[in-house]
Amino acid sequence: MANKTITVKKGDTLSALAKANKTTVAKILAANPSITNPNLIRVNQKIMIPIGTEKSTSSSTSSVAAAAEVARLSALEKQKLQNEAKVTALNNKSGFVPSAIPVAPVVPVEPVEPPAVVPGSTITVDPATLSTTSSQTKDTFSLAQLQSRFSIAAAVIGADKSLQEALNKILGINGEPMITDPFLQEQIIKGTSWWQGQTDSQRQYDWARETNPGQFAADLQLNASEIVKKFAANGLNITAQDAVKYAEQMMKQSIIQDGKVIRFDADYINTLMSGAINFTKNDKIGDRVVYTKLSGNLETLAQSLYKQAWDYGYPQTMSNAGFTNWFETSMKGLVGGKLNPQQVDDQLQTRAKSFAPGLANLIDQGQTLRQAADPWLQAIADVWETDADSIDLNDEYVQRTINNTDEKGNVSPVNLFDAKKMARRSSKWDLTQNAKEEKTRIASRILQDFGFIQ
């Protein structure tokens, strides 16, 4: 009988090949002694297919072969049911309840060792190449041989006691039969504290570190350098040791701690930077504490925050301790991403309307407190011969001007003429040049009226 050689394609099985070539699985196995498991052939594997005719065979022989094939298939189905019963029995025995995992149909393919993972890369897997229930030949390697041949995997296993116990259970080290069913092996691994205490990204991180240490070290150094640059841009100092620690955490992306997933992302770094701001170095302007020794982006942010607070009269309308607490909290919130500039503006706007209810409608239109009060501040500044920007919004006469209450209880600013008249009642007006000249003129007129001077 002649043979022809075919190359196994994805999805091929011996029974399908036998049917397509008008032969039997038994004949193919006879022509291919290297195939020890009729349910396990590999993609791209070369297989000899017997063709041609043989000497006449009796119908009884064909019937026997057919009956044997049916019996073999029945045995496989029976084995599948037995495997499922093993899973149930093992789970009941150990108390382990596996998560629901869909069982794929049997797809006999060659196992493929997972590729090295570059940190930060995305792993794409073709679902068609995966199987949790495909038949498997019993592994005859000892634990020492496994560690010798697969040192990387052994290093990961050796670092975790629960994985070692899982491997011993699968290999039957404790004297029980070796567990060869892949689905059952998967459940044992997923029952370990190693699996339950790590995220997928952390497992990829461990694999990258073990499989490609050179590339891993280069990526770690690059990521640590980027963190140092980000801290420096904000005028913050960070040790090389801390930078490496944070870079490792960022490369893990997330971990499970106390049953909760902690994510390491840009927000995490921002939170670290907000906690690293040094507020101990400060100066005073008048009786107000200000931070003048911040640098980089933090200096720009601080200046912007001071200006924003001044526009709403915030530093002048509260205690020094209260303003200091607001400033530090706002700086940390903005750097850490817990606040945005609009939220800070909304806070100041709400407080400004409470402080100056007579100007609330103007503030609602988008003006700051100083913008809304500017016409009245200018009128008072003319009387006091000073700069409107230097006027304290908390001054008694300013408050009377912008928050005047009428007989009906309505609060609104007085007209500008009355604002100037009110400003003249302040002792600040007595110190102006106009006040001195006016008082001199009045005194001269009185003296003239009484004849003391001509």
Are 290 and 283 a contacting pair, CB within 8 Å?
Answer: yes
Distance of CA 453 to the CA centre of its chain: 87
Contacts of 258 (CB under 8 A, 6+ apart): none
| CA 294 – CA 276 distance, rounded (Å) | 12
pLDDT at 138 over 70: no
Phi, psi of 114, rounded to the nearest 5 degrees = -60, 145
| CA 210 – CA 29 distance, rounded (Å) | 41
The string of DSSP letters for 367-416 reads --HHHHHHHHHHHHHHHHTS-GGGS-TT-HHHHHHHSEE-TTS-EEPPPH
Distance of CA 409 to the CA centre of its chain: 53
Instruction: Determine the straight-line distance between the first and last CA of the chain, rounded to whole angstroms.
Output: 152
Higher pLDDT, 423 or 203: 423
At residue 448, the 3 state secondary structure works out as helix
In a domain, 125, yes or no: no
Which tokens go with 141? 């390697």
Q: At what angle do helices 296-311 and 341-355 cross, to 10 degrees?
A: 30
Give pLDDT, residue 64. 47
Write out pLDDT tens, residues 376-409: 999 999 999 999 888 888 888 999 999 999 888 8
The amino acid that residue 441 corresponds to is R
Give pLDDT, residue 293. 76
Give pLDDT, residue 414. 92
In a domain, 198, yes or no: no
Which tokens go with 68? 């044997």
Which tokens go with 122? 């995305």
Are 330 and 339 a contacting pair, CB within 8 Å?
Answer: yes
Domain boundary among 35, 54, 73: 54
Percent of the chain with pLDDT over 70: 72
Write out pLDDT tens, residues 61-99: 444 444 454 455 455 555 555 555 554 555 454 444 443
At residue 427, the 3 state secondary structure works out as helix
The pLDDT-based confidence of 367 (bands split at 50, 70, 90) is very high
Give pLDDT, residue 156. 62
Range of the domain at 381: 358-454
Write out pLDDT tens, residues 220-249: 999 999 999 988 888 888 899 999 999 988
Write out pLDDT tens, residues 278-318: 887 677 666 666 777 788 888 888 888 888 888 888 766 66
H or E stretch covering 279: none
Q: What is the dihedral of CA 142, 144, 147, 150, to 10 degrees?
A: -40
In a domain, 17, yes or no: yes
At residue 197, the 3 state secondary structure works out as coil
H or E stretch covering 284: strand 283-285
Give pLDDT, residue 131. 32
Give pLDDT, residue 140. 52
Give pLDDT, residue 101. 35
In a domain, 8, yes or no: yes
Phi, psi of 402, rounded to the nearest 5 degrees = -90, -15
Cα-Cα-Cα-Cα dihedral sign, residues 404, 408, 410, 414: negative
Residue 104, by phi and psi: left (phi above 0), alpha (psi -120 to 50) or beta? Answer: beta
In a domain, 452, yes or no: yes
In a domain, 113, yes or no: no
In a domain, 155, yes or no: no
Write out pLDDT tens, residues 4-23: 888 888 778 888 888 888 88
Are 18 and 28 a contacting pair, CB within 8 Å?
Answer: yes
Q: What is the dihedral of CA 190, 192, 194, 199, to 10 degrees?
A: 30
Which residue do the tokens 């037995």 mark?
82
The domain spanning residue 27 has which CATH number? 3.10.350.10
Q: What are the helix (H) ranges across 121-181?
A: 143-149, 151-158, 161-171
Give pLDDT, residue 384. 92
> Which segment, 2-16, 26-40, 129-143, 416-430, is predicted with the most confidence on average?
416-430
Higher pLDDT, 351 or 140: 351
Cα-Cα-Cα-Cα dihedral sign, residues 309, 311, 314, 316: positive
Of 429, 450, 447, give the one whose Cα is nearest residue 438.
Answer: 429
Q: How many domains does the chain have?
A: 2
What integer best gives the mean pLDDT of the chain? 75
Are 91 and 187 a contacting pair, CB within 8 Å?
Answer: yes
Q: Which of 44-48, 276-280, 437-441, 449-453 has the lowest mean pLDDT?
A: 449-453
| CA 88 – CA 67 distance, rounded (Å) | 32
Give pLDDT, residue 382. 92
The string of DSSP letters for 75-131 reads HHHHHHHHHHHHHHHHHHHHT--PPP-PPPPP------PPPP--TTPPP---GGG--
Phi, psi of 98, rounded to the nearest 5 degrees = -70, 150
In a domain, 184, yes or no: no
